[in-house]
Amino acid sequence: MGTKAREIVELDVEKLIAELNRAYADEWLAFYQYWISARVAQGRESKVVVEELKRVALEELEHAEELADRIIQLGGRPLTNPKEWLTKANCAYKEPPNDPKDVARIIKDAIEAERCAISVYNKLAETTHSKDHATYHLARHILDEELAHEDAFENML
């Protein structure tokens, strides 16, 4: 834990850690949604989408890592039980459609997840602006990538 790291945050640190943990849960669910969708998707049209889902899934995993590091730096504990991902997340988890050829559904569900993530990081950036530079910087960095993800998936419809 960073003692000074906590001290310089001009916010309720425990509330901030709880908010970071909710975003952390979102990232794991997004990672898994894309990872499993990439594996079950079938059909000729799915090839490009599958590659994109795999690429974006790894970026969501990276976001989870960055959030976990920040939570620990603030003296918190990242969620250690996957059961909590569903109960703590801000955004809904969408199972891949029963029809493995329904790639349009997979894309629409991914766009929904990205839009939810954009709201989450936009809010986190607002909350931390001028009050916690490190978390603000992280929120902005992740927000930029979520904006790019929404754009990438929208272009696939």
Binding footprint of Fe ion on the chain (CB under 5 A): 27, 60, 63, 114, 146, 149
Nearer to Fe ion, 6 or 61 (CB): 61
Nearer to Fe ion, 60 or 132 (CB): 60
Least distance CB 10 / Fe ion (angstroms)? 26
Type of residue found at 37? S
Q: Ramachandran region of residue 130, left (φ > 0), alpha (ψ -120 to 50) or beta?
A: left
Nearer to Fe ion, 103 or 143 (CB): 143
Q: Of all residues in the chain, what percent are helix, strand and coil, respectively (each to 5)? A: 75, 0, 25
Least distance CB 41 / Fe ion (angstroms)? 18
Instruction: Residue 7: name the closest of 129, 132, 150 by CA.
Output: 132
Least distance CB 148 / Fe ion (angstroms)? 8
Chain centroid, CA 9 distance in Å: 23
Nearer to Fe ion, 66 or 101 (CB): 66
- The packing angle between helices 46-73 and 133-154, to 10°, is 170
Nearer to Fe ion, 19 or 146 (CB): 146
Least distance CB 98 / Fe ion (angstroms)? 24
Return d(Cα 139, Cα 123) in angstroms, integer.
9
Least distance CB 66 / Fe ion (angstroms)? 9
DSSP state of 98: S
